[in-house]
Structure 1
């Protein structure tokens, strides 16, 4: 094993809007990834059909879902960015987790460290959605990093004219999140 192997972190964003602040946060994480970590932003969650066992069959898994599973399988850890829709997790992100939870007991999230962060308009920064996402990821087999949290409130005003990558405090917090996820992803798995 070469020391140059960088840790691959897959970022999933729960908002489909091109100018979404959570997408901007994910872009910032890609840019701020510390030495030895590579964060890649998954594109295409919108193309994945709703989870249905009838189409989750060898040879007929929709291409978009297969692509998500491959990306997650190849990753050493996942970083989920989610806004809060009506007090909970956006359907598009929940659907991604549902696809990654199967096959049961052997899904792409199995045993992988997962951190959940994000920003929202309200004063709590989307903590309900973040907690729901952690719960769902844990049930899906992921190793949820309960102590790696970042919920940024007041997204509309905070990022009205500043990209998260250019907000010194947010950049520092994000760098810390990625560094801690990186640390968990490089720990040897327990035998």
Structure 2
């Protein structure tokens, strides 16, 4: 059986983003039989129906194809102003189009997140889950991974240094692997 191919992307465009660092840690800690590829959302422009009507921009085409090619999608979302950041919502909006053949339709989805705050992106993750009701994606309900006080869990180069967080991340990825196997179509 071939390895599960998981597409990961972060809802932050900042190079030193804790959520990008969390995705890199997920790549390093992925269980045997799972490969995580990271897509950089900086090539995905703001959604605009007029632009879409003229044809998806190259970055959107690449993003949608990467989702279609993946067995599952892993999203690392920050929390901005008690909610999901525009970058992440924009990515979901593009990937929900066109509704009849959206790349996110029937895709297993996992959500993780890191934040310097005490809630570890809980509200952002909660808002993001609501979008998957429309996309008909299969968002894993449990376990959750909410990395709080992220500035204490990563070193200045963005490497995960907190062993407890690493153990939770491994358990999350094992659960997501099982979830994805169960729902693969």
Give the TM-score normalised by structure 2: 0.92
Is 1:25 aligned to 2:14, yes or no?
no
More divergent stretch after superposition (159-168 vs 12-21) = 159-168
Q: Which residue of 1 aligns with 2:71?
A: 76
Which of 122, 137, 144 pairs up with 1:127? 122
Which of 15, 23, 33 pairs up with 2:12? 15
Cα distance in 2 for partners of 1:176, 1:72 equals: 23
More divergent stretch after superposition (27-36 vs 174-183) = 174-183
Report the 3-state secondary structure (helix = DSSP H, G, I; strand = E; otherwise coil) of the residue aligned with 2:47. Answer: coil
Which stretches of structure 1, 4 residues or more, deviate above 4 A after TM superposition? 160-164
Is 1:102 aligned to 2:97, yes or no?
yes
Contact 1:105-1:141 within 8 A present in 2 as well: no
Cα distance in 2 for partners of 1:54, 1:93 equals: 20
**Aligned-pair distance for 1:182?**
1.2
Cα-to-partner distance string for 1:63-103 (whole Å, 9 max, x where unaligned): 00010000000011111101111111111111100011111
Which of 144, 153, 159 pairs up with 1:158? 153
Which of 170, 176, 179 pairs up with 2:171? 176
Report the 3-state secondary structure (helix = DSSP H, G, I; strand = E; otherwise coil) of the residue aligned with 2:142. Answer: strand
Cα distance in 2 for partners of 1:110, 1:22 equals: 24
Cα distance in 2 for partners of 1:145, 1:172 equals: 19
Report the 3-state secondary structure (helix = DSSP H, G, I; strand = E; otherwise coil) of the residue aligned with 1:79. Answer: strand
In the TM superposition, 1:33-112 aligns within 5 A as: 33-43=30-40, 45-57=41-53, 60-112=55-107
Contact 2:108-2:183 within 8 A present in 1 as well: no
Unaligned 5+ segments in structure 2 are: none
Report the 3-state secondary structure (helix = DSSP H, G, I; strand = E; otherwise coil) of the residue aligned with 2:99. Answer: coil
Greater fraction of residues in helix: 2
**Aligned-pair distance for 1:148?**
2.9
Cα distance in 2 for partners of 1:189, 1:40 equals: 18
Cα distance in 1 for partners of 2:58, 2:156 equals: 37
Which of 139, 145, 154 pairs up with 2:140? 145
**Aligned-pair distance for 1:33?**
0.8
Structure 1 vs Structure 2 CA RMSD: 1.8
